[in-house]
């Protein structure tokens, strides 16, 4: 089918193109129109359309235009090569620009991905640091708590020791005071008992001496016992003191 189309196109072109300057299929064909026809009617892809058009142009140049251009000046060949070079240069520039844009976009996406990964790693490092700080703080708190507990126990032991010492000393002092009071009370009681005994004895002896005096009032010697009592009583009183 492509060969019949090529033959019919060549015949029409020769009929209409007598006396024209040397040319090529790229100059004579509307590639955009063929491209649209292939896309719309043939349902070809973009790459397939380009390949078909390139093959068509190549076939036209090889089968028809090479022979046709041989009949004209050789300078048209140079023009054709220049046009092809310009076209290829444009396509190459376009391809290079597309490649640069694609690579730039890829690098930009990679850069964004690296930034996200870096932020993620930074967040993980922050979490690890916070976790370590919390663990260190808990450990330090537990150590301080243990030290405070030990210090509290030591203080309690010292306070209990001091309390026991104070209680022992107070109890010793109280016991000594109680013993002194007991001894003083006993001594005072003994002195009181001695005084009472002496008083009773003096009273008894005095009463015994007064009874004979009442029976014999004429005798003057009844005054002698009073002197004895006066002389003995102060001595007893001195002993009491």
Inter-residue contact 88 to 57 (CB < 8 Å): no
Q: Within a domain: residue 50?
A: yes
Q: Within a domain: residue 97?
A: no
Tell me how far apart the alpha carbons of residues 58 and 218 are, in angstroms, rounded to a whole number: 198
pLDDT at 110: 92
Q: If 0-12 CB within 10 Å is exposed, 13-18 middle and 19+ buried, where does residue 89 land? A: exposed
Residue 207 in tokens: 């009463």
Closest CA to 26 of 16, 14, 18, 34: 34
Residue 233 in tokens: 């009583």
Instruction: Among 20, 42, 72, identify where a domain stops.
Output: 72
Q: 3-state DSSP: the chain helix, strand, coil percent, rounded to 5?
A: 90, 0, 10
- Which residue range is the domain that position 230 belongs to? 184-240
29: helix, strand or coil: coil
Q: If 0-12 CB within 10 Å is exposed, 13-18 middle and 19+ buried, where does residue 59 land? A: middle
**How many C-alpha atoms does 151 have within 13 Å on its Cβ side?**
6
- The domain total for the chain is 2
Q: Within a domain: residue 148?
A: no
Tell me how far apart the alpha carbons of residues 184 and 178 are, in angstroms, rounded to a whole number: 10
**How many C-alpha atoms does 99 have within 13 Å on its Cβ side?**
6
The confidence band for 178, taking pLDDT boundaries of 50, 70 and 90, is confident
Tens-digit pLDDT profile for residues 8-31: 554 554 444 444 566 777 777 788
Q: Within a domain: residue 91?
A: no
Q: Within a domain: residue 52?
A: yes
Whether residue 1 is predicted with pLDDT greater than 60 in this model: the reply is no
Instruction: Among 23, 55, 72, identify where a domain stops.
Output: 72
Q: Within a domain: residue 22?
A: yes
More confident residue, 51 or 224: 51
Tens-digit pLDDT profile for residues 66-113: 777 666 645 555 677 788 888 888 888 998 999 889 999 999 999 999
pLDDT at 105: 92
Q: Within a domain: residue 85?
A: no
Question: Which residue's entry shows tokens 């046709």?
Answer: 68
Mean pLDDT, the chain, integer = 76
Report the share of the chain in percent with pLDDT over 70: 73
Instruction: Among 21, 40, 72, identify where a domain stops.
Output: 72
Strands (E), the chain: none
């Amino acid at each position: 089918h492509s060969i019949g189309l090529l033959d019919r196109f060549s015949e029409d072109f020769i009929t209409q193109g007598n006396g024209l300057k040397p040319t090529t299929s790229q100059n004579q064909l509307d590639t955009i129109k063929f491209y649209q026809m292939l896309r719309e009617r043939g349902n070809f892809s973009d790459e397939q359309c380009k390949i078909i058009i390139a093959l068509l142009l190549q076939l036209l140049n090889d089968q028809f235009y090479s022979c046709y251009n041989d009949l004209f000046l050789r300078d048209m060949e140079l023009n054709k090569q220049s046009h092809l070079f310009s076209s290829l240069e444009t396509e190459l520039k376009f391809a290079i620009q597309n490649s640069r844009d694609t690579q730039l976009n890829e690098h930009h996406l990679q850069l964004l991905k690296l930034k996200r990964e870096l932020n993620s790693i930074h967040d993980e490092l922050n979490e690890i640091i916070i976790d370590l700080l919390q663990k260190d703080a808990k450990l330090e708190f537990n150590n301080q708590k243990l030290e405070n507990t030990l210090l509290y126990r030591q203080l309690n032991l010292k306070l209990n020791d001091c309390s026991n010492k104070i209680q022992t000393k107070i109890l010793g002092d109280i016991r000594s005071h109680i013993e002194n009071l007991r001894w003083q009370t006993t001594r005072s009681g003994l002195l009181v008992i001695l005084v009472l005994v002496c008083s009773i004895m003096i009273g008894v002896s005095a009463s015994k001496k007064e009874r004979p005096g009442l029976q014999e009032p004429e005798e003057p010697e009844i005054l002698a016992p009073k002197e004895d009592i006066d002389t003995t009583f102060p001595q007893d009183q001195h002993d009491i003191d």
